[in-house]
Chains A and B, each alone.
Chain A
Amino acid sequence: MVALALAAVWPFWIQNVYYHTVALLALIYVLLGLGMNVLMGHAGLVHAGYAAFWGVGAYVVAIFSTKFGLSFWMALPVSVVGAAVLAVLVGIPAIRVSGLYFVLVTLGFGAIFELAMTNWDYVGGPNGLYGIDPPQLGSVPLQTPRQLYWLVLAVTALSVLVMHRVANSRVGRAWNYLREDEVAAQAFGVNPVWSKLQAAVLGAAWAGLAGAFFAVRQTAVAPSSFTFLESFVVILIVSLGGLRSLPGTVVGTVAMIVLPELLRPLAQYRFLVFGAAIVLMMLFRPEGLWPGRARRHEEIAREWLGSRGRSA
């Protein structure tokens, strides 16, 4: 709560638009990380074509705005649902294979998306689409990075709440059971195909959400924004911060997005530094910088044990 309040008020003191821009980008990556956390953290699905869902969200907003003059708010649900539908189409074949094969299938899917956008003249081919209108709040266009930052901050706060509840739910546990032992999970009533599709849909929906805000931040979209490298950055964010940890996703984003932006001169060494950081992390802190886990059931258990006069 304190963190949220701080995140909401600092732009009043710090007027530098550059910081607002970086913070807005960071929030978009937090949204991406929240979605990837469901796929990779909980369900154990390392989706290497994740950026394509982000791309769908961004392209939907771009097409609605530049081709039809329709508002951001009409495009937003289509972005989310579009990414989710695509996740089902890709997911049906992909989730039947596991581990490395899943990575390869989704990698191929990501490459197809990028190539398709590059070669589709309707969406501008390699140049993409530009001149995307800002979202309107009532009659006020949210044009400045600071206004957009506040909008996305509200969306992110809500998303964190949603993801917290999902992680602490029966569905969230089912993903963890599948990740740990698919045979045992099935023997206790978890339908593996259905459960993984739920994870894919939820993860992709959040990527679509992030993509929609990305489009209005950039006011332009192009295929080069949705390459494998972007999927990889999101994978690094959630692994570095701590799988299944919501604060970890924020920490990972600060490390992967904010620090390199603020230390511009060193930015070209970013992947060198983070490659090394990942190796060190895997050796010394495989659970991530801020490891996390579901907590709700622990509260209930402590209450029950307490009521029975046992120590928790």
Chain B
Amino acid sequence: MAGQPRTVGLRALSGESGAGEELLVLRGLRKTFGGLVAVADFSVGILRGEILSTIGPNGAGKTTVFNMVSGLLHPDRGEIRLNGEPIGHLPPFERTGKGLGRTFQNLRLFPTLTVLENVMAGRHARSRAGIVPSVLGLRWAREEERATVVRSLEWLEFVNPVLVERWNEQVRNLPYGLQRQVEVARALAAEPVLLMLDEPAAGLNEAETQELMGLVRRIRDSGVTVWLIEHDMSVVMGISDRVVVLDHGEVIAQGPPVEVQRDPRVIEAYLGRDDPEEHR
């Protein structure tokens, strides 16, 4: 019957030959809240297989850009294309299936559910059993369910084997650093072509930050393009292939980390004005 579960391979791997081409293209994104211009005019092309970082002081509009790409906010104008296909009109729940995965700046886990159940959420868009096949216990639905569990455990193991030991604990009982990792595992379980990490190092200590950077590299090496928003300059400089600097809703610089770091406008945005606390 037509009910075979969708193949659940690493989709990104098959596209590896296309390294260097533009995976996600944003053109002229703008978002205002009342009179406040959160993002003025944002354009960027993310290349397949790279780690791109977007940095900028607090309030620069970084998370707003992420929310527009993942569909939680509607841009006032501008274009979003993934693999050449416009996705700007799609509701958020359909963008997952197109290959977008993300984490949230302030954790958005399902607090009373277990670690495993949280990661299984990532499999939702990669499975399709509805009420009737599940109730009838059709063979393909049972196999899909098994694949959902096993894949989720495998992603937990990929992110951090410690999480596999704690698979059946309520996620809210985990230390903060591990909760962040569960969020990454959940996003990976959706097998995205583009993983968007919103300030993944926020609240992490030095050792945890190092571990995170290693994880981001492993994710990229597995064939997933990574786009991260970061506040912490040291994280960005260590792992990014390219950096886009956002300030007051506008791109003020972009390029390889070393160049961006020397850019006078970037230094001004981070150091030169009223709030020296911005630079950590």
Contact = CB atoms under 8 A, between A and B. Distances in A.
A176 B117 contact: yes
B149 A301 contact: yes
Given A169-B129, A173-B117, A183 B72 contact: yes
Given A162-B135, A297-B149, A301-B149, A173 B92 contact: no
Interface stretch (B35-43, B96-104, B210-218, B269-277): B96-104
Interface string B124-142: 1101111100110100010
A180 B164 contact: no
Interface string A191-209: 1100000100010000000
A218 to B, nearest CB: 30
B97 A184 contact: no
B61 interface: no
A5 interface: no
Contacts of B127: 170
Interface string B59-76: 000000000001110000
Given A186-B92, A202-B131, A300 B145 contact: yes
What 5 A-B pairs come out closest when comparing CB atoms?
Answer: A189-B125, A169-B134, A180-B110, A184-B108, A189-B96
Contacts of B144: 170
B111 interface: yes
11 contacts: A169-B145, A174-B124, A180-B112, A183-B72, A187-B70, A187-B92, A187-B104, A188-B96, A188-B124, A189-B93, A298-B116
Contacts of A190: 93, 121, 124
A171 B145 contact: no
B145 A188 contact: no
Nearest to A185: B121
Contacts of A301: 116, 149, 153, 167-168
Contact of B134 (A170, A176, A181, A184): A170
Judged by DSSP, the binding face of A is: helix
Interface residues of B, number: 46
Contacts of B228: none
A173 B134 contact: no
B137 A186 contact: no
A189 B190 contact: yes
Contacts of B125: 188-189
In this complex, the member of B102, B130, B135, B148 whose beta carbon has the largest number of chain A beta carbons within 10 angstroms is B135
A171 B134 CA distance: 9
A174 to B, nearest CB: 6
Given A177-B124, A190-B124, A297 B145 contact: yes
B11 interface: no
Interface residues of A, number: 35
A165 B93 CA distance: 24
A176 B109 CA distance: 12
Interface string A268-299: 00000000000000000000000000101110
Interface of B: 70-72, 91-94, 96-97, 102, 104, 108-113, 116-117, 120-122, 124-125, 127-131, 134-135, 137, 141, 144-146, 148-150, 153, 164-165, 167-168, 186, 190
Given A169-B141, A188-B124, 7 more contacts: A170-B129, A187-B72, A187-B96, A190-B121, A297-B120, A300-B145, A304-B153
Contacts of A192: 93
Given A186-B93, A189-B190, A304-B150, A171 B130 contact: yes
Contacts of B190: 188-189
Contacts of A165: 134-135, 137
A116 interface: no
B93 A183 contact: no
Nearest to A194: B93
Contact of B153 (A162, A186, A305): A305
A171 B132 CA distance: 10
B149 A304 contact: yes
Contacts of A189: 93-94, 96-97, 124-125, 190
A177 B110 contact: yes
A207 B127 CA distance: 30
A171 to B, nearest CB: 5
A242 B116 CA distance: 22
B124 to A, nearest CB: 4
A84 B60 CA distance: 48
B113 A188 contact: no
A166 B72 contact: no
